[in-house]
Structures are given as C-alpha cells and as structure tokens.
A = this chain, B = another copy of it.
Amino acid sequence: MLTERPGVFSGHPKEECGVFGVFGHPEAATLTHYALLTLQHRGQESAGIAVAGEREILHHKGMGLVGEVFGERVLKELSGRAAIGHVRYSTTGSSLAVNAQPLVFRHRLGALALGHNGNLVNAHLLRNRLEAEGSIFQTSLDTEVLAHLVARSKEPTLEKALTEALQQIQGGYAFVLLTERSLLGLRDPYGIRPLALGRLKGAYLLASESCAFDSLGGRFIREIEPGEMVVIDGAGIRSFQALPVAGRALCLFEFIYFARPDSLLNGLSVHSVRKELGRILAQEAPAAADLVIGVPDSSLSAAAGYAEELDLPYEIGLVKNRYVGRTFIQPNEKLRNLAVRLKLNALRKVVEGQRVVLVDDSIVRGTTSRHIIRLLRQAGAKKIHLRISSAPYRFPCYYGIDTSVISELIASQKSVEDIRAEVGADSLAYPSLEGMLRAAGGRERGYCLSCFTGTYHVPVPDGAGKLVLEEK
C-alpha cells in the first residue's frame, strides 16, 4: 500500500490494465480520456486511446500517466464517435518499453483496435505455433496473439472470426475492440477479469469498473457475463454467448485491493465488501487493542469494519504523501531509509502508548509491512496487531495479476508465525477462505481463489509462469 506507482516501492500485487469503450458520442476520445483518469489506479505505466475516425482508426499511446500522454492537441486530432482506451501496469522499468495498448492493426476484414485486461495462459504456445506458420510479432503483448488468430480465421465476419479465435485462447481476460463501425466487449468464460456495460444518454459504454460510468455522469447497466460478447454499432447492441460459460470465477483481489471502493462488482459495492472483510476478520481474529488503523488508502474500509465489529475506536494513524510519485528521485545509499518515511508517516499523538490493530489488505513479500510496523514502533505504539483482510497470498496468478515468482511470496515460504516474526508484529492473523467468501456474498457468487489455494480453473501450461513475469 505504500504506493501503486512503479519506481518507488510497493507491497502489492500489480494489476496490469484498465479498459474502456464508448460508442455513439461526438466527444468519444475526450470521454475516454476522462474515463481513463478514473481507471488510472489500475495502471500507471502507459495509456492509449484509439478512435474510429471518418476514414480510419486513429490512435495515440505512450508511457506515463493519462495526463502526461494526452494533451489537448492530441485529443483534438482523435476525432470520432467511437473509441476505446487502455491504461497499463508494466513490469519493466525500461524507457524503451513499447507495449502500450490499444494494439491497432489492419487485417483482411479492415482495421481493428484491441484493449486487453488479463493474461492468456497459452499465449506462448499459440505464439510459437503462429511464428512457425509465418506470423511476425512486433510486441510482447499476449494481445497480439489474439490479433493474429482473428486475422488468420477464415470466417466471414469479425464476430465469427473472434469467436473462432477465442476458442483457442485460455486465460482470464476482458477485451474491448473497436472497428471502423462498431465497438465490441468480451469476457472470458469464467468471468475472471471484470467488464461492465453502461449508458450515457444515447451512447453505450464499456469499462473495467463501473466508477468510470459515474465519473462521466453515465449509468451502470449490468456486467458483461462470462463468455459473453456484446457488439455495439449503428443498429444498437447485440449479445452473443461467444463461449459457453465455464463457471463464475471473478478475481477476488478486485475486491481486496484493485478496484476503486465506489465500483460495483458481482452486484456488490467494493467498499462494502472490504468493510465486511474487516468485520469477519474481527470475528475470526479479534485483538485486545485500544484502537484500529488502516494502511491508506486501500485498507481503510476494512479497518473501519474491523473497528466497528469490535466497537474499538477507528483512527487515522498513518498519513500518506500524495505527491511522491513516479518522478520521485530515489534517495541515494546514504538516504535510502527515507523512501518509506516520505511516503507514509505515523501519527505519534494517535499511536503513542497504544495497543494498535494495523489492518492491511495483503502481504506479498513482507518488506512493506516490516517498514510500517517499524514506523509505528518509532512513533510509540505499545503493541501492534497486524490483521490482513485477505487470506495468505501463496500462489502466483496466471490470469492477469503480476505477482512475484512463488519463491518471493512470503506466505508460500513461511508459516504465519514466521511471517509475524519477520515483519515484527505482536500478532498476525488472516481471514479464513470461508470468511472471505462470506464477505464477498458467498461462494455461490463465484470467485477465483487460485492465488490462495493453488487450484487453477484454467489449466496453466508449462512456461506460462515465465510469460506472466516478462510480458504483462
């Protein structure tokens, strides 16, 4: 929670993408730009917009935040009534990176722009096959694999070609696609990655999260179903079951950390689920404490729930600096320990002499927790009970979250007691799987728990792990 921005430090899993689409609005690119600002928390490394112009698909993309990549002049050039947009979290720090989306290309059926959130677990296999058949790859995006499959299909329409292509890919994904005359949205057959449908007056909207609709003054209609494809064009909206539903397995981490608290997922408010996670955690692992604090911003809802459940004071114990971002100059060796202090500060008057419950949403490597606990100790906290609002993160995700290799996941290497000792807490507790599911409306709503259980809905071919790490 120290930061979601690369180049600084982070104790979180990283989401790679947010997608958005609009059809039927004279200011399509400008709306997309605003929607990407709203989805910026899902990816800060690159941003891109493609628009269906008069005669062709125009696009612009670049490294950096939405506000850095798009200026008024560029937006003005991106004139058209339909557009898609994308923000992305890159794992590479290189200034040479070229993997921004949307991916825009021409093929036998015309021009196509593609924005993708998720990960295709068999991308490397398909890529090898496609290369053997003579395809060239200009990016390391797994999205490019889908482009080739669509182009190589013999089907006469884009919908059919896409369906044929989708039958070959496996993984968790939500796609937005733009042609010269239509906007399409798709979700994988488990619905692992989210995608919602909205309206703004006469226009249709698609977005990874419903908060993007709110920010435009639009309205949430419904979530795209697992395996569903929607096609929006001049004639209105049509829906297909492109792939048979394989189950429902929404990524639970969307609730735990990724999504904005004001978004709706699986029909539930993200904030409410977080608060409920806190409550259930309090029931399962109460602590004898004087007050409860959360790590800003993502753990505040859970901390409030924890406090409410035990009728403990909910306090602001940590302050986050909003101005330490990507352009932050790293302290040199001598000043290295400043990095955490610049980002977070403890409120001495709040925690001094107190028994504190510290709520955080997850522990990936453990280093961030150790830093925060040290800050609180230096500020005089007497006891620190660390409560994590999700179960131990033990297995890598292959469906679109970029975590570390398994050897870096502290929970897959150590016991809870060992983790507690390593981060320096007086006690440490996680919720049960059942507790988490209950907070998220019950198992029957359908969630992906692979990173907690190691059981994967979509089989993961050998080598997929490597792709996950290098090519997100």
| A residues lining the B interface (CB < 8 Å) | 27, 30-31, 33-34, 37-38, 40-41, 44, 58-60, 65-68, 70-75, 77-78, 94-96, 98, 103-108, 131-132, 134-138, 147-148, 150-153, 211, 214-217, 260-262, 264, 268-269, 271-272, 297, 300-301, 304, 308, 313-316, 319, 321-325, 327-329, 331-332, 334-335, 337-338, 341-342, 345-350
Contacts and interface: CB of A to CB of B under 8 A. Distances in A.
Q: Which of A95, A134, A308, A322 has the most CB of B within 10 A?
A: A134
Contact of A96 (B78, B272, B349): B78
A137 B109 CA distance: 12
B349 A269 contact: yes
Contacts of A108: 131-132, 134
12 contacts: A34-B331, A40-B323, A78-B96, A105-B136, A105-B137, A134-B153, A217-B341, A261-B316, A261-B319, A262-B347, A271-B347, A322-B322
Contact of A338 (B34, B104, B301, B308): B34
**Assembly of this chain: how many copies?**
4
Given A37-B342, A138-B138, A323 B67 contact: yes
A33 B147 CA distance: 34
Contact of A346 (B70, B262, B327): B262
A65 B328 CA distance: 11
Given A96-B58, A216-B341, A71 B107 contact: no
A261 to B, nearest CB: 5
B96 A60 contact: yes
A217 B132 CA distance: 43
A383 B128 CA distance: 61
A152 B137 CA distance: 12
Given A107-B131, A107-B134, A261-B347, A335 B27 contact: yes
A76 to B, nearest CB: 10
A72 B329 contact: yes
A106 B264 CA distance: 40
Contacts of A34: 331, 335, 338, 342
A211 B94 CA distance: 33
A31 B135 CA distance: 32
A295 to B, nearest CB: 14
A308 B313 contact: yes
A146 to B, nearest CB: 10
Nearest to A78: B96
A27 to B, nearest CB: 6
Contacts of A33: 329
Contacts of A38: 321, 342, 345
Contacts of A215: 321, 338, 341-342, 345
Contacts of A70: 329
B106 A134 contact: no
Contacts of A131: 106-108, 151
A135 to B, nearest CB: 6
A308 B77 CA distance: 52
A305 to B, nearest CB: 10
Contacts of A74: 95-96
Given A27-B334, A34-B331, A217-B338, 10 more contacts: A27-B332, A60-B95, A60-B96, A67-B325, A78-B96, A136-B150, A211-B345, A261-B347, A262-B319, A322-B322
